[in-house]
Amino acid sequence: MSLINSKQANAANAMQEAKAWLTEHGLPYRHLPPHQLKIGSINFWPGTGTITIDGEPGKRPAKGLAGLEEILFAGNAQAARTQSGSATAALSRLRLLG
């Protein structure tokens, strides 16, 4: 397998994992083909792990699903420990960011 095919496969797997994670947590998102997910004002590229937020300069230092989770659940650590609480906390956070 060539390096390009391997990178494409990794990016596709990262996209599927991110979509599954967002769906599992009840978080609405839009897939902006080919590589971006939009969650409220958050822009996430699963293949690279890059995160930006509309209206903010530059990229966030946090990367990947762990970084996305950190941003979505910031300030709501207690609520983020339960599935229903995490969805509620994240949706509240999305409203603040949006």
- Does this model's pTM top 0.85? no
43-81 pLDDT per residue, tens: 999 999 999 999 999 999 999 999 999 999 885 543 434
Q: Percentage of residues in the chain with pLDDT exceeding 90?
A: 62
Candidates 66, 31, 67; CA nearest to 52 is 67
* Tokens 């994240």 -> residue: 90
Domain ranges of the chain: 3-97
Token reading at 14: 């990262």
3-state secondary structure of 38: strand
Q: Once rounded to an integer, what is the mean pLDDT over residues 76-97?
A: 50
